């Protein structure tokens, strides 16, 4: 069922469930992180400011409009509402957003290690690549500015020194993308501990993108020419071409493994 067709209670229940999953898996701690989703009337439900995601309840959620004005609810919306609104404005195809603080992904960003390279096959299939947004002071309008030029083309973003932002067709889709982002970060970290991290060769990247198309995975594919080998601009060994053109996405079927 699409988010637009779900009842208010169903949407609230979904946000609460995902919030508790995040807390239980230590993807957030204390009062970190926030979750939001679109309602059928064009407004948004989101977790309130200063709430623990492990104990948040349906009645705690706040309804806001696209300008951030509170329409209902007794609490203040998350202080990072500017980031959610900026993402929704840039992506009318997105119905839910999850912001978390995954430990390994954040640690990589602190160390200056990008996740934009094509290393894990499943990451290429689902995301293409995972870009890192520049550092911005939390809770300020700078957070929205940092997403410009990135959120339009990415469903999973590392926020430098801060956390992650994942976007989906519903809150579960956004949460699963968060899990995949952190899983890829853990693999990257573990690989760096034992040896050199080897990027996938361009011809295999192309095959994986073709798999993405066959699976019907929609959504944009972000390309960072400084780090990515999807677009052919990533610096590689002398005399070797990096990457090829990527196929356009098609409509997503129900029940895809990704």
Catalytic residues: 80
Cα(189)–Cα(195) distance, integer angstroms: 10
E strand or H helix that includes residue 171? helix 171-194
Question: How far is Cα 100 from Cα 177, in angstroms, rounded to an integer?
Answer: 11
Nearest to 58 by CA among 37, 79, 41: 37
CA-atom Rg of the chain in angstroms: 18
- Which helix (H) or strand (E) element contains residue 123? helix 121-127
Three-state SS at 38: strand
Q: Which two tokens stand for residue 42?
A: 């064009």
Q: What's the rounded Cα separation, in Å, for the pair 51 and 30?
A: 8
**Token pair of 109 as six digits:** 């960003």
Please tell me what DSSP assigns to residue 225.
Answer: T
**Are 122 and 115 a contacting pair, CB within 8 Å?**
no
3-state SS class at 160: coil
Distances (CA, A) of 134 to 110, 146, 148, 157: 11, 6, 10, 10
* 19 sits in which H/E element: helix 8-24
Asked if 19 and 53 count as a contact pair (C-beta separation under 8 A), the reply is yes
């Amino acid at each position: 069922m699409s988010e637009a067709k779900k009842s208010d209670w169903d949407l609230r229940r979904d946000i609460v469930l995902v919030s508790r999953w995040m807390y239980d898996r230590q993807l957030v701690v204390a009062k970190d992180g926030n979750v939001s989703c679109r309602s059928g009337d064009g407004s948004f439900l989101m977790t309130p400011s200063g709430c623990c995601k492990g104990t948040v309840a349906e009645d705690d959620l706040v309804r806001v409009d696209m300008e951030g004005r509170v329409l209902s609810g007794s609490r203040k919306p998350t202080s990072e509402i500017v980031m959610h609104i900026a993402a929704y404005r840039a992506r009318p195809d997105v119905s839910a957003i999850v912001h978390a603080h995954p430990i390994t992904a954040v640690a990589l960003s602190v160390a200056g290690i990008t996740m934009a390279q094509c290393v894990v096959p499943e990451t290429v299939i689902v995301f293409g690549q995972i870009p890192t947004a520049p550092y911005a002071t939390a809770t300020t309008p700078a957070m929205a500015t940092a997403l410009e030029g990135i959120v339009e083309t990415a469903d999973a973003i590392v926020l430098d020194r801060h956390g992650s932002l994942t976007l989906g067709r519903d809150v579960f889709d956004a949460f699963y993308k968060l899990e995949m982002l952190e899983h890829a970060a853990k693999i990257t970290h573990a690989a760096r501990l034992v040896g050199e991290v080897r990027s996938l060769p361009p011809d295999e990247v192309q095959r994986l993108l073709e798999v993405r198309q066959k699976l019907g995975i929609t959504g944009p594919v972000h390309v960072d020419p400084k780090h990515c080998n999807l677009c052919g601009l990533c610096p590689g060994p002398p005399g070797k071409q990096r990457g090829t053109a990527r196929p356009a996405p098609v409509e997503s079927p129900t029940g895809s493994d990704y």
